[in-house]
Amino acid sequence: MLNNVMPQRGVFFSLLTSHTDRMVAAANATLRLISGLGNPGVDSAALIDEVNLNETSADALKAELIHLLYESFTTPINRDQIHTLALDLDRVVDSLQSVANSIATHHIADSTAQAREMASLGADACIRLNRAVIALEGRERVPEILKQCQEVDEIEARAVEVMRLAITHLFEKEGDEAAAWHAMKMRGFYFMQEAVLDHCKRAAKTLEEILLENA
């Protein structure tokens, strides 16, 4: 009983790290999915399932962490901050799932250079968040965490530029009704990809706020 009330501090960080491991796995599967669109050798359905399985696993880890927060008398850092970070990371995984599932629901058969770059940037941002969360347990690793968070911010800024370019290309030429529908469909898809980066940036800001409050 006492272990539930006063768990070892490492349990919280272990759950956060495991959650970001699932996030990275989902991001890498999404990258492989988008990069392989139009390639008959790529099993898109299997990759979508992989993203969904990682999201389900991440949800279970988030639920376990939140339960631990409610049951614990002490936490290694402010419990509200841990809760906020867990929700921020969960939004990243949820947005990756939305991107992957939209490929099936919107019948997106081919990718574009911009879609592939956005997916690559999303995977890079997730890797940096994972590194920052892993380092969170060690107070001496603050500079490393700040560096990873800054890189997430830079990646998100690059993604905004890529999305703007992608949307500009979509509407450069007028076409028939089918072309207009395709442009609107891809516009929505790019915005879903951008949401991944937005949530990564939000999680990075939460990490920075944790560092400031616990300096």
Q: How far apart are CA 166 and CA 154, in angstroms?
A: 19
Residues in the chain with pLDDT values less than 50: 1-6
Residue 4 is predicted with a pLDDT of 45
Domain ranges of the chain: 2-213
Residue 73 is predicted with a pLDDT of 76
Residue 2 is predicted with a pLDDT of 32
What kind of fold does domain 2-213 have according to CATH?
A: Methane Monooxygenase Hydroxylase; Chain G, domain 1 (1.20.58)
Residue 86 is predicted with a pLDDT of 96
Whose tokens are 């339960």? That residue is 67
Q: Give residue-wise pLDDT tens across range 145-164.
A: 999 999 999 999 999 999 99
Residue 151 is predicted with a pLDDT of 97
Q: How far apart are CA 204 and CA 59, in angstroms?
A: 20
Q: Got the DSSP string for 137-186?
A: T-GGGHHHHHHHHHHHHHHHHHHHHHHHHHHHHHTSS---HHHHHHHHHH
Residue 141 is predicted with a pLDDT of 82
